[in-house]
Amino acid sequence: MISSLKKRTRFSLNRRQKTFLTLFSLIVFLICIVLVGALLDEGRIATNLVDRNLVPSFDHPFGTDWLGRDMFTRTIMGLSLSIGVGLIGAVGSISIALILGTAAAIMGNKGDRLISWLIDLFLSVPHLVTLILIAFTLGGGFKGIVIGIALTHWPSLARIIRVEVMQIRTSEFVKVSRQMGKSHWWIALHHMLPHLVPQVLVGFTLLFPHVILHESAVTFLGLGLSPHEPAIGIILSESMKYLSSGMWWLAFFPGLCLLIVVRTFDNIGEKLRMFLHSN
């Protein structure tokens, strides 16, 4: 029985370590993409009509486009830009979810009903539709896409945070703090917020894939980032006109890289959830 317990403990520890190493490797991979995108020579995305329409080769792994721009450089820079936009937008969305989710659980029945109604209202409309409307209203560009992401991706996490806070506020340490005369916001800051950190971290990483895909979709439609930026959505939108000419690499490699980054973020969220909930 003791040997069986040791084997079970060893398996649990090995599984936790494996999850941590996988999580660490995925994060390093994304950091490398951002760093490489920042260090690449921008001269390789300048117009060079001598090297236009080249197929993938050793000098140009992803080929070149109709203006002779290196597609590998454009793709990596586009991924780095998308990650940066997604980071800012996701942080804003997480902040809104945290504030409203906490407020709904501590502001009484009227506040709870109002915020719950607001959450249901945003959930009743697809994120992408609302994001397009907000980005179009704000004139598109970096500001429009970031504000649109922040204002449309918070409802699901806000609902989860609201449920968590409602469970925490019935705990004994919260009741003791109330008897000592502590305010609702003091309790929320010192007792509830530390318990919400794992939920926020997991929610943030699982939210990121949707943010990047929606940013690329809106940019693809011409309502997102500026056409002068090497964004993935712009690259895919421009490449549609040349696919019939046999220039398949213009859309294949950027689309594949976008899929890899999205799946990487998705795996980070899953591994992070497993790591935080493992014993």
Cβ contacts of residue 225 below 8 Å, gap of 6+? Answer: 81, 85, 140, 141, 142, 145, 215, 219, 231, 233, 234
The model carries a pTM of 0.77
Domains of the chain: 20-47+69-277 (1.10.3720.10)
How far is it, in rounded angstroms, from Cα 181 to Cα 158? 27
**Plot region of 181 (φ>0 → left; ψ -120 to 50 → alpha; else → beta):** left
How far is it, in rounded angstroms, from Cα 150 to Cα 100? 13
Long-range contacts made by residues 123-131, C-beta under 8 angstroms, separation at least 24? Answer: 123/155, 123/156, 123/159, 127/152, 127/153, 127/210, 127/214, 128/214, 128/217, 128/218, 131/214, 131/218
Please give the backbone phi and psi of residue 179, each rounded to the nearest 5 degrees, phi first. -65, -25
95-150 residue pLDDT tens: 898 888 888 777 777 888 888 888 888 888 887 888 888 888 888 788 888 888 88
Is residue 2 predicted with pLDDT exceeding 50?
A: no
Among 63-67, 243-247, 268-272, the range of highest mean pLDDT: 63-67
Q: Tokens 């830009």 — which residue?
A: 81
End-to-end CA distance of the chain: 20
How far is it, in rounded angstroms, from Cα 96 to Cα 90? 10
198-253 residue pLDDT tens: 788 878 877 888 888 888 888 887 777 777 777 888 888 888 888 888 888 888 99
More confident residue, 248 or 13: 248
| Residue of 74, 98, 64, 89 lying closest to 194 (CA atoms) | 98
For residues 172-178, give the mean pLDDT.
78
Is residue 5 predicted with pLDDT exceeding 60?
A: no
Cα angle value 136/80/139 (rounded, 5°): 10
Residue 247, classed as helix, strand or coil, is coil
Residue 169, classed as helix, strand or coil, is coil
More confident residue, 164 or 7: 164
How far is it, in rounded angstroms, from Cα 227 to Cα 238? 9
**Plot region of 53 (φ>0 → left; ψ -120 to 50 → alpha; else → beta):** left
Average pLDDT, the chain: 81
How far is it, in rounded angstroms, from Cα 30 to Cα 266? 12
Q: Is the dihedral of CA 107, 112, 117, 119 positive or negative?
A: positive
How many C-beta atoms surround the C-beta of residue 19 within 10 A?
18
In the chain, what percentage of residues exceed pLDDT 70?
Answer: 92
Burial classification of residue 20, based on how many CB atoms lie within 10 Å of its CB (0-12 exposed, 13-18 middle, 19 or more buried): middle
pLDDT at residue 278, as a whole number: 62
In the chain, what percentage of residues exceed pLDDT 90?
Answer: 0
Query: Residue 96 in contact with residue 153, Cβ under 8 Å?
Result: no
Q: Tokens 């979709």 — which residue?
A: 217
